């Protein structure tokens, strides 16, 4: 139940190279169970802060879907605050990071974004 | 800036029956500005709680996209707590409600769901 630490919506290890699978059905398909809701709520919560959302969209929309702190620090908060929020996004599994030389580069996990998008997919008109 | 109280992602009044327009571009399109981020973060935050998410999915997946409290109170919390969370979802613009006789019926705003889904739309592969 409580073993998922990173990338909670996905199981990147267990998918045999096919790309990761989403944890949860579309919200409109059936009621979520407690475990699914825990997992998905963690990611929505991470995006539930305006500064984090701006940083996330700054990374997501940056060339190549990747940015270093130096590229995205114009959101009106201090760099330590930027780093704090980037860490939170990383812990929620929404960003991955890699150090190259002086800078840490952040990258959006497109499969996570797609899984969240699927959660919110509206059903076909009835 | 701070006039949006309900349905923050949409402007249901101003769309002339064409359906409401989303507030924000896909997260991957360009960095969000402060106002867009405020608006969208409010809705993500509302879904950032496991109980709220379960209630929301219970309403969203219920027959006809509509449910009364009597239909969806099996999420393991008291009915006052259910009502509290439904109110929060309503304030965030994710649900609308209507009293009919004894019960209040909650309905998912499909256009809001669609707008949130668009926010998370991944760009075409580059």
The model's pTM is 0.77
Distance from B53 to chain A by nearest Cα, in Å? Answer: 6
Size of interface A-B (CB pairs under 8 A): 129
CATH number of the domain within which A80 lies: 1.10.10.10
Chain B touched by A51 (CB under 8 Å): yes
Model confidence at A2: pLDDT above 70: no
Give tens-digit pLDDT for B85-105: 999 999 988 999 999 999 899
Residues of chain A numbered 8-47 and touching chain B (CB < 8 Å) = 27-34, 37-38, 40-42, 44-47
- Tally the domains of chain A: 1
Backbone angles phi, psi at A90, to 5 degrees: -70, -45
Q: Does A18 reside within a domain? A: no
CB atoms A58 and B114 under 8 Å = no
Give tens-digit pLDDT for A68-100: 888 887 788 888 899 899 999 999 889 999 999
Give tens-digit pLDDT for B24-77: 788 888 889 999 999 889 989 999 999 999 999 999 999 888 998 888 877 888
Q: Does A94 reside within a domain? A: yes
- Cβ–Cβ under 8 Å, residues B34 and A76: yes
Write out the residue range of the structural domain in which residue A72 sits.
40-120
The pLDDT confidence band at residue B110, using thresholds 50, 70 and 90, is confident
Q: Does A30 reside within a domain? A: no
Give the span between the Cα atoms of A19 and A30, in whole angstroms.
Answer: 24
Q: Does B114 reside within a domain? A: yes
CB atoms A58 and B31 under 8 Å = yes
Q: Supply the DSSP string of A63-119, one letter for each residue.
A: GGGEEEGGGS--SSS-HHHHHHHHHHHHHTTSEEEEEETTEEEEEE-HHHHHHHHHH
Q: Does A56 reside within a domain? A: yes
Q: Does B77 reside within a domain? A: yes
Chain A touched by B112 (CB under 8 Å): no
CB atoms B31 and A54 under 8 Å = yes
Q: Does B79 reside within a domain? A: yes
Q: Does B103 reside within a domain? A: yes
Chain A touched by B77 (CB under 8 Å): no
Q: For residue A119, what are its two tokens?
A: 């959660």
Q: For residue A91, what are its two tokens?
A: 């812990």
What HEC string does B42-110 produce? HHHHHCCCHHHHHHHHHHHCCHHHEEEHHHCCCCCCCHHHHHHHHHHHHHCCCEEEEEECCEEEEEECH
CB atoms A41 and B61 under 8 Å = no
């Amino acid at each position: 139940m409580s073993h998922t630490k990173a990338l909670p919506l996905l199981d990147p290890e267990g998918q045999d190279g096919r790309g990761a699978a989403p944890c949860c059905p579309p919200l409109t398909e059936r009621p979520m169970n407690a475990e699914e809701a825990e997992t998905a709520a963690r990611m929505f919560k991470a995006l539930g802060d305006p500064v984090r959302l701006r940083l996330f969209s700054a990374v997501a929309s940056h060339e190549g879907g990747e940015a270093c702190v130096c590229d995205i620090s114009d959101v009106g908060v201090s760099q330590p605050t930027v780093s704090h929020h980037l860490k939170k996004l990383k812990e929620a599994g929404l960003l991955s990071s890699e150090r190259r030389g002086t800078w840490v580069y952040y990258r959006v996990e497109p499969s996570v974004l797609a899984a969240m998008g699927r959660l919110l997919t509206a059903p076909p008109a009835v």
